[in-house]
Chain A
């Protein structure tokens, strides 16, 4: 170890120093292809392994300008080594990543740093090359639709897309978004009316999108969830025999091996209990959401016959038994549906929250699931949102608190934090995230009259952009 470092030795004492017992806080395995082996030191007066401990304590918002200091700084900022060190030191920072769809259906990502209160734009998602299986275009989809199919799934999809969407033009249309192991993922989606298998990953360390192994099944509008450090996808729709059909299959991605593995398909046992073959053909089972909760994946399901969604409870995947079981009745019945059957939910500090838009037109409520009673309970404090179905709302568990992201009446994108934790069951979980103290210093107005519950922690001009998805990365 000392040998490597002493090549750029300026100080005769340094060789002895670096051979001394190392600081226990950041033990690392040195590999011989270290980025600094042949380059000048990060800081001339210090061995690089100490400098890296200093850099690991530098907030991430400064990383972009730190890259400009020198070659070795640039290499260090973009090296996994630095981020391993940040994990060991506990200096990782949670940022909120927001996907928006602008005029012309362009997808744009923004990252929000809650400490500096600054937003950063991410590099655009890559333009996808047209592959051979994706040639037929929107006309194919419409033709299928006009051909008198009883399910008219395409209409539902158009409902999901919003009115202005052009299905055949936009890559990533209907892709699912997920996040695992410090990276964002865009999975599948439609391109030229065909569902895709491709998966793209954004790595904040290199600040770039790269393609990873594709899913085994082409899917659009599938649901994602993270369990035990792996990314699960279930359901969605695919193109099948010239038409679109909903999928019951599921698969799981291991970010460390880069390999997709099979997961048993959702049985959709409720759909199989339909009284007649006619109904079974008419009503298509769809996974309308997925949330990781108490070590299992909870998937609410609906039977769909355009334009109606009939909620039929849901199913739960248990990774220990590698099998699906019925969702508890109360959970399935009460899981609020949002738009076109979508069921939005998030787990924060072990509690499962869902957003219920049904109360009035200009507000929504948060429900929390009570595991013991198998019921959903409304928590106080209506969310004052301007829901005109064009701009939906998103839920996130950020800094250990529930956040709702939506647009206000002036088209601003608004990130609201639930200022208190609401527990339906006694819980010892208290978040001790040091970042929160920074948020409390922000003098933003408190919205709503009810108990000062919702606090706007970030606001940015949104224009006509629609909210698509949000994810949290802790890097």
Chain B
């Protein structure tokens, strides 16, 4: 077992087989730096719980194909990313820090999927982006390809 400590001082025990999906921790273990508790000063307990949930589920990724658990994992992944933007960003940052490749993929893909078909206004609102384009610049982009900004398939909702 490996002990992880979140930045709000909560400790979590994780199986080594699960936690080595994090390249960072795997390296620490290989270098013999993981003898006691590993402090994770950038990850709060709420996010760490999510990450550990993912690691435990994906513990035997390689075996999933043989045992026919692929669909099960896929369903888990779909449920897993069903979270708000802020929470998703926290998990992405944690996955990036811990260097968990598959989790990073999953969350970035989910973020990209959420942006599909969204209106420009909705994208800005969801991601809290301030529009700093001038009206002229906007018009120039629209004039380049007016057909890209209309149509019933464009979704203006922000979830």
Contact = CB atoms under 8 A, between A and B. Distances in A.
A63 to B, nearest CB: 9
Nearest to A68: B120
Interface stretch (B54-62, B63-71, B95-103): B95-103
A74 B124 CA distance: 13
A70 interface: yes
Interface of A: 13-14, 16-17, 20-25, 39-40, 42-46, 50, 53-55, 57-59, 62, 64-71, 73-74, 120-121, 123, 207
Interface string B116-159: 11011001100111111100011001101101110000100000
7 contacts: A20-B96, A40-B129, A46-B93, A55-B112, A70-B132, A74-B133, A120-B148
Nearest to A58: B112
A44 B141 contact: no
Contacts of A207: 144-145
A25 B95 CA distance: 12
Query: Top 3 closest A-B pairs, CB basis?
Result: A57-B112, A64-B148, A45-B89
A46 B92 contact: yes
Given A70-B130, A123-B144, A46 B89 contact: yes
A406 to B, nearest CB: 25
B34 interface: no
B131 A23 contact: no
Q: Which has the most chain A C-beta neighbours within 10 Å: B108, B116, B129, B131?
A: B108
A68 B111 contact: no
Contacts of B119: 65
B82 interface: no
Contacts of B123: 66, 69
Contacts of A121: 145, 147
B24 interface: yes
B132 A64 contact: no
B115 A62 contact: yes
A64 B109 contact: no
B99 A65 contact: no
Contacts of A20: 24, 42, 96-97, 99
Nearest to A123: B144
Contacts of A24: 23, 99, 101
A246 B85 CA distance: 63
A276 to B, nearest CB: 59
A70 B124 CA distance: 8
B128 A17 contact: no
A117 to B, nearest CB: 11
Given A62-B117, A121-B147, 17 more contacts: A16-B42, A20-B24, A20-B99, A21-B99, A45-B89, A45-B128, A46-B93, A53-B108, A54-B111, A54-B115, A58-B116, A59-B116, A62-B115, A67-B141, A69-B124, A70-B131, A207-B144
Contact of B116 (A39, A62, A71): A62
A54 B133 contact: no
Contacts of B130: 40, 70
B104 interface: yes
Nearest to B127: A43
Given A24-B101, A67-B141, A57 B132 contact: no
B132 A21 contact: no
Interface residues of B: mostly helix, strand, loop or mixed? Answer: helix
A65 B120 contact: yes
A45 B96 contact: no
B108 A17 contact: no
B23 A21 contact: yes
Given A43-B127, A120-B147, A25 B104 contact: yes
B133 to A, nearest CB: 6
B41 interface: yes
A42 B133 CA distance: 13
B31 interface: no
Q: Which has the most chain B C-beta neighbours within 10 Å: A59, A66, A68?
A: A68
B75 interface: no
B96 A22 contact: yes
A88 B78 CA distance: 24
Contacts of B86: 45
A67 B144 CA distance: 11
B142 to A, nearest CB: 7
B141 A17 contact: no
A13 B131 contact: no
B146 to A, nearest CB: 10
A70 B144 contact: no
Given A17-B97, A21-B99, A23-B96, A120 B145 contact: yes
B39 to A, nearest CB: 12
A25 B23 CA distance: 12
B105 A25 contact: yes
A59 B116 CA distance: 8
Contacts of A65: 119-120, 148-149, 154
Contacts of B141: 64, 67-68, 74
A336 B62 CA distance: 50
A25 B101 contact: yes
A121 B146 CA distance: 10
A224 B95 CA distance: 47
Q: Which has the most chain B C-beta neighbours within 10 Å: A20, A67, A121?
A: A67
